[in-house]
Protein backbone atom coordinates (compact mmCIF):
# COMPACT_ATOMS: atom_id res chain seq x y z
CA UNK A 1 0.00 0.00 0.00
CA UNK A 2 1.08 3.54 -0.71
CA UNK A 3 1.95 5.43 2.40
CA UNK A 4 2.06 9.21 2.53
CA UNK A 5 3.02 10.69 5.86
CA UNK A 6 3.01 14.26 7.07
CA UNK A 7 5.25 15.46 9.84
CA UNK A 8 2.54 16.83 12.13
CA UNK A 9 -1.21 16.37 12.53
CA UNK A 10 -1.61 19.63 14.42
CA UNK A 11 0.61 22.68 14.44
CA UNK A 12 0.27 26.07 16.11
CA UNK A 13 2.52 28.91 14.99
CA UNK A 14 2.71 32.63 15.53
CA UNK A 15 2.28 35.30 12.89
CA UNK A 16 5.56 35.98 11.13
CA UNK A 17 7.17 32.63 11.91
CA UNK A 18 8.72 30.52 9.18
CA UNK A 19 6.83 27.23 8.96
CA UNK A 20 7.90 23.97 7.35
CA UNK A 21 5.38 21.25 6.53
CA UNK A 22 6.98 17.98 5.54
CA UNK A 23 5.56 15.20 3.42
CA UNK A 24 7.13 11.82 2.74
CA UNK A 25 5.93 9.04 0.44
CA UNK A 26 7.31 5.54 0.25
CA UNK A 27 6.23 4.43 -3.24
CA UNK A 28 8.85 6.10 -5.38
CA UNK A 29 6.23 8.40 -6.90
CA UNK A 30 7.53 11.17 -9.12
CA UNK A 31 4.60 13.53 -8.73
CA UNK A 32 3.79 15.22 -5.44
CA UNK A 33 1.23 17.86 -4.50
CA UNK A 34 0.34 20.27 -1.72
CA UNK A 35 -3.27 21.35 -1.18
CA UNK A 36 -5.02 23.42 1.38
CA UNK A 37 -8.56 22.60 2.45
CA UNK A 38 -10.94 25.25 3.75
CA UNK A 39 -14.65 24.94 4.57
CA UNK A 40 -16.80 25.72 1.56
CA UNK A 41 -13.80 25.90 -0.77
CA UNK A 42 -12.81 22.27 -1.09
CA UNK A 43 -9.20 21.44 -1.86
CA UNK A 44 -7.10 24.00 -3.68
CA UNK A 45 -3.72 23.23 -5.21
CA UNK A 46 -0.83 25.29 -3.84
CA UNK A 47 2.19 23.74 -5.59
CA UNK A 48 3.12 20.51 -7.25
CA UNK A 49 6.31 18.80 -8.30
CA UNK A 50 6.91 16.63 -11.35
CA UNK A 51 10.15 15.23 -10.04
CA UNK A 52 13.13 16.06 -7.88
CA UNK A 53 13.96 19.77 -8.01
CA UNK A 54 11.02 20.36 -10.39
CA UNK A 55 8.14 22.44 -9.14
CA UNK A 56 5.22 24.35 -10.53
CA UNK A 57 2.74 26.77 -9.06
CA UNK A 58 -0.80 25.64 -8.51
CA UNK A 59 -3.86 27.80 -8.16
CA UNK A 60 -2.97 29.60 -4.91
CA UNK A 61 0.84 29.78 -4.53
CA UNK A 62 1.03 33.24 -2.96
CA UNK A 63 2.70 33.20 0.43
CA UNK A 64 4.11 29.69 -0.05
CA UNK A 65 7.20 28.05 -1.47
CA UNK A 66 8.25 24.42 -1.81
CA UNK A 67 11.34 22.28 -1.84
CA UNK A 68 11.93 18.87 -3.38
CA UNK A 69 15.51 17.78 -2.88
CA UNK A 70 14.76 14.06 -2.67
CA UNK A 71 12.17 12.06 -4.54
CA UNK A 72 10.34 10.89 -1.44
CA UNK A 73 10.10 14.24 0.32
CA UNK A 74 8.16 17.37 -0.59
CA UNK A 75 8.22 20.33 1.77
CA UNK A 76 5.83 23.26 1.94
CA UNK A 77 7.27 26.45 3.36
CA UNK A 78 5.42 29.44 4.74
CA UNK A 79 8.09 32.14 4.74
CA UNK A 80 6.19 34.40 7.13
CA UNK A 81 3.03 32.81 8.44
CA UNK A 82 -0.13 34.87 8.52
CA UNK A 83 -3.50 34.22 10.12
CA UNK A 84 -5.14 33.70 6.73
CA UNK A 85 -2.92 30.66 6.27
CA UNK A 86 -4.72 28.88 9.10
CA UNK A 87 -6.02 25.81 7.31
CA UNK A 88 -5.78 22.07 6.77
CA UNK A 89 -2.84 21.18 4.53
CA UNK A 90 -2.91 17.94 2.57
CA UNK A 91 -0.05 16.33 0.70
CA UNK A 92 -0.52 13.80 -2.10
CA UNK A 93 1.60 11.75 -4.45
CA UNK A 94 1.15 9.70 -7.56
CA UNK A 95 2.89 7.78 -10.27
CA UNK A 96 2.98 9.73 -13.57
CA UNK A 97 1.47 6.74 -15.37
CA UNK A 98 -1.63 6.71 -13.21
CA UNK A 99 -4.23 9.25 -12.26
CA UNK A 100 -5.08 8.44 -8.66
CA UNK A 101 -3.48 10.63 -6.06
CA UNK A 102 -2.73 9.17 -2.65
CA UNK A 103 -3.15 11.50 0.28
CA UNK A 104 -1.54 11.92 3.63
CA UNK A 105 -3.55 12.46 6.84
CA UNK A 106 -3.22 16.24 6.71
CA UNK A 107 -1.73 18.88 8.97
CA UNK A 108 -4.09 21.28 10.66
CA UNK A 109 -2.14 24.52 10.98
CA UNK A 110 -3.29 27.34 13.21
CA UNK A 111 -1.53 30.70 12.96
CA UNK A 112 -2.20 33.02 15.88
CA UNK B 1 -10.86 26.24 -17.14
CA UNK B 2 -12.02 23.15 -15.35
CA UNK B 3 -14.69 23.32 -12.70
CA UNK B 4 -16.44 20.84 -10.44
CA UNK B 5 -19.68 21.70 -8.67
CA UNK B 6 -21.11 19.82 -5.73
CA UNK B 7 -24.25 21.75 -4.97
CA UNK B 8 -25.16 19.76 -1.86
CA UNK B 9 -23.19 21.13 1.05
CA UNK B 10 -24.57 18.77 3.65
CA UNK B 11 -26.94 15.81 3.62
CA UNK B 12 -28.40 14.01 6.62
CA UNK B 13 -30.04 10.61 6.31
CA UNK B 14 -31.15 7.86 8.63
CA UNK B 15 -29.31 4.58 8.44
CA UNK B 16 -30.51 2.24 5.67
CA UNK B 17 -31.74 5.08 3.51
CA UNK B 18 -30.34 5.44 0.01
CA UNK B 19 -28.55 8.70 -0.75
CA UNK B 20 -27.22 10.27 -3.94
CA UNK B 21 -24.42 12.79 -4.02
CA UNK B 22 -24.43 15.03 -7.07
CA UNK B 23 -21.41 16.15 -9.09
CA UNK B 24 -21.46 18.36 -12.18
CA UNK B 25 -18.29 19.24 -14.04
CA UNK B 26 -17.07 21.60 -16.75
CA UNK B 27 -14.15 21.00 -19.06
CA UNK B 28 -13.12 21.73 -22.63
CA UNK B 29 -11.02 18.60 -22.82
CA UNK B 30 -12.35 15.58 -24.67
CA UNK B 31 -10.21 13.24 -22.61
CA UNK B 32 -10.45 13.51 -18.86
CA UNK B 33 -10.91 11.50 -15.71
CA UNK B 34 -13.41 11.84 -12.92
CA UNK B 35 -12.91 10.73 -9.34
CA UNK B 36 -14.68 10.37 -6.04
CA UNK B 37 -12.79 10.58 -2.76
CA UNK B 38 -14.04 10.02 0.77
CA UNK B 39 -12.70 11.99 3.72
CA UNK B 40 -13.67 10.38 7.04
CA UNK B 41 -13.28 12.28 10.32
CA UNK B 42 -9.66 11.10 10.52
CA UNK B 43 -8.89 13.52 7.68
CA UNK B 44 -7.16 11.36 5.09
CA UNK B 45 -8.75 11.34 1.65
CA UNK B 46 -9.50 7.84 0.45
CA UNK B 47 -9.76 7.11 -3.25
CA UNK B 48 -13.09 5.49 -4.22
CA UNK B 49 -13.32 5.42 -8.00
CA UNK B 50 -11.88 6.73 -11.24
CA UNK B 51 -13.81 7.02 -14.49
CA UNK B 52 -12.47 8.04 -17.89
CA UNK B 53 -14.43 10.19 -20.30
CA UNK B 54 -14.84 7.40 -22.83
CA UNK B 55 -16.47 4.96 -20.48
CA UNK B 56 -20.05 5.84 -19.62
CA UNK B 57 -20.95 2.52 -18.12
CA UNK B 58 -22.32 2.74 -14.63
CA UNK B 59 -20.29 1.05 -11.96
CA UNK B 60 -21.34 -0.76 -8.84
CA UNK B 61 -19.13 -1.75 -5.96
CA UNK B 62 -21.04 -3.25 -3.08
CA UNK B 63 -23.37 -0.57 -1.73
CA UNK B 64 -21.73 2.11 -3.86
CA UNK B 65 -22.71 2.95 -7.41
CA UNK B 66 -21.75 5.68 -9.82
CA UNK B 67 -23.72 7.15 -12.70
CA UNK B 68 -21.65 8.95 -15.34
CA UNK B 69 -23.64 10.91 -17.92
CA UNK B 70 -21.57 12.84 -20.42
CA UNK B 71 -24.66 14.49 -21.93
CA UNK B 72 -25.34 16.30 -18.66
CA UNK B 73 -21.70 16.48 -17.49
CA UNK B 74 -22.59 14.68 -14.31
CA UNK B 75 -20.95 11.96 -12.25
CA UNK B 76 -23.29 11.12 -9.39
CA UNK B 77 -22.58 8.78 -6.51
CA UNK B 78 -25.23 6.69 -4.79
CA UNK B 79 -24.89 4.87 -1.50
CA UNK B 80 -27.52 2.18 -1.03
CA UNK B 81 -28.64 1.25 2.47
CA UNK B 82 -26.40 3.84 4.11
CA UNK B 83 -24.55 3.05 7.30
CA UNK B 84 -23.12 5.21 10.06
CA UNK B 85 -19.61 4.41 8.79
CA UNK B 86 -20.49 6.21 5.56
CA UNK B 87 -20.51 9.50 7.45
CA UNK B 88 -17.77 11.58 5.84
CA UNK B 89 -17.10 14.39 3.44
CA UNK B 90 -17.17 13.24 -0.16
CA UNK B 91 -15.28 15.02 -2.91
CA UNK B 92 -15.75 14.78 -6.63
CA UNK B 93 -12.69 15.68 -8.73
CA UNK B 94 -11.71 16.14 -12.37
CA UNK B 95 -8.30 15.47 -13.86
CA UNK B 96 -6.79 17.16 -16.84
CA UNK B 97 -5.11 14.91 -19.42
CA UNK B 98 -1.68 13.45 -18.82
CA UNK B 99 1.49 15.28 -19.63
CA UNK B 100 1.45 17.73 -16.76
CA UNK B 101 1.27 15.55 -13.67
CA UNK B 102 -2.51 15.37 -14.12
CA UNK B 103 -3.64 17.94 -11.62
CA UNK B 104 -6.98 17.42 -9.93
CA UNK B 105 -9.70 20.03 -9.66
CA UNK B 106 -11.90 19.32 -6.67
CA UNK B 107 -15.46 20.23 -5.88
CA UNK B 108 -16.26 21.84 -2.55
CA UNK B 109 -17.38 18.55 -1.04
CA UNK B 110 -20.61 17.15 0.38
CA UNK B 111 -20.78 16.30 4.06
CA UNK B 112 -22.87 13.18 4.62
CA UNK B 113 -24.22 12.49 8.08
CA UNK B 114 -25.80 9.08 8.64
CA UNK B 115 -27.62 8.66 11.93
CA UNK B 116 -29.23 5.69 13.64
* B50-68: pLDDT as tens digits: 988 888 888 888 999 999 9
Residues of A in contact with B91 (CB under 8 A): 42-43
- The residue ranking higher by pLDDT, B22 or A51, is B22
Are A50 and B101 an interchain contact pair (Cβ–Cβ within 8 Å)?
A: yes
Contact A31, A100 (CB under 8 A): no
pLDDT of residue B52: 87
Q: Which B-chain residues 26-65 have CB contacts (< 8 A) with chain A?
A: 33, 35, 37, 42-47, 50
* Residues of chain A in Cβ contact (below 8 Å) with chain B: 9, 31, 33, 35, 40-45, 48-50, 56, 58, 88, 90, 92, 94, 96, 99-106, 108
Mean pLDDT by 10 residues, chain A (112 residues): 87 97 94 94 93 90 96 96 97 85 94 96
pLDDT of residue A31: 92
Contact A6, A37 (CB under 8 A): no
CA B17 vs CA A78, A87, B83: distances in Å: 44, 33, 8
Whether residue B101 is predicted with pLDDT greater than 70 in this model: the reply is no
Amino acid sequence: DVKVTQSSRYLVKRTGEKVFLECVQDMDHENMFWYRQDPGLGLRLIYFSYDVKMKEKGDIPEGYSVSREKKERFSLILESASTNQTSMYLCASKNPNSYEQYFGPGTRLTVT
Amino acid sequence: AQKVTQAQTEISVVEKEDVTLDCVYETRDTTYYLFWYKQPPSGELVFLIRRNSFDEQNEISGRYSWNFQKSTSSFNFTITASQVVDSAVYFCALSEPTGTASKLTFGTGTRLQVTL
